[in-house]
Chain A
Amino acid sequence: MTIKDKAYIVGAYEHPLRKAPNHSVAQLHAEVARGALLDAGLAKDDIDGYFCAGDAPGANPWSMVNYLNLNRLRHVESTDMGGCSYLIHVAHAAEAIAAGKCNVALITLAGRPNSEGVSGTQARVRGVNLPDSPFEMPHGPVTVNLYAMAAMRHMYEFGTTSEQLAWIKVAASHHAQHNPHAMLRNVVTVEDVLNSPMVSDPLHRLDSCVVSDGGGAIIVARPDIAKSLNRPRVKVIGSGETSKHQMGGQIDLSYTGVAWTGPRAFEEAGVTPADIQYASIYDSFTITVLLQLEDLGFCKKGEGGRFVADGNLISGVGRLPFNTDGGGLCNNHPANRGGMTKIIEAVRQLRGEAHPAVQVPNCALALATGVGGAIGHRHGAATLILERE
Chain B
Amino acid sequence: MATSNVDRKISDPLMNPGDEPYFDAAAQGRLLIKQCSDCGKPHHYPRAICPFCWSPDVQWADASGEGTIYTFSITRRGAGAPYCIAYVALDEGPVVMTNIVDSDLEAIRIGQRVRAVFKPSEGGISVPMFTLAQTADAPARQET
Contacts and interface: CB of A to CB of B under 8 A. Distances in A.
A299 interface: no
Contact of A121 (B42, B47, B75): B75
Nearest to B83: A140
Contact of B85 (A140, A156, A251): A140
Contact of B11 (A122, A138, A250): A138
A123 B45 contact: no
Interface string B61-73: 0000000001111
B80 to A, nearest CB: 7
Nearest to B50: A248
Contacts of B94: 248-250
A249 B14 contact: no
A135 B43 CA distance: 13
A134 interface: yes
Given A130-B14, A152-B110, A249 B72 contact: no
B95 interface: yes
A356 to B, nearest CB: 38
B99 to A, nearest CB: 5
A121 B76 CA distance: 9
Interface string A241-254: 00000111111010
A24 interface: no
Given A135-B96, A140-B8, A150-B71, A156 B77 contact: no
Interface stretch (A61-69, A196-204, A210-218): A196-204
B71 A153 contact: yes
Interface string B124-144: 000101000000000000000
Contacts of B97: 135-136, 139, 141, 377
A150 B77 CA distance: 18
A102 interface: no
B56 interface: no
Contacts of A377: 97
A200 B46 CA distance: 28
A128 B16 CA distance: 8
**A129, A140, A197, A253: which has the most chain B beta carbons within 10 Å?**
A140
Contact of B71 (A138, A152, A199): A152
Contact of B52 (A133, A144, A248): A248
Interface string B89-125: 0000111111100000000001100000000010000
A207 to B, nearest CB: 12
Contact of B14 (A122, A134, A141, A199): A134
A149 interface: yes
B44 interface: yes
Contacts of B22: 134-135
Contacts of B57: none
A84 to B, nearest CB: 22
Nearest to A254: B71
B75 A149 contact: no
A132 to B, nearest CB: 6
A149 B73 contact: yes
**A128, A137, A144, A247: which has the most chain B beta carbons within 10 Å?**
A137
Interface in A243-300: 246-251, 253
A70 interface: no
A197 B46 CA distance: 37
A140 B10 CA distance: 8
Contacts of A130: 14, 16
Interface of B: 8, 10-16, 19, 22-23, 41-47, 51-52, 70-81, 83, 85-87, 93-99, 110-111, 121, 127, 129
16 contacts: A134-B16, A135-B45, A135-B96, A139-B97, A140-B11, A145-B85, A149-B73, A151-B73, A152-B71, A153-B110, A197-B77, A198-B76, A247-B51, A248-B43, A249-B45, A251-B95
Interface of A: 121-123, 126, 128-142, 144-145, 148-153, 156, 197-203, 246-251, 253, 377
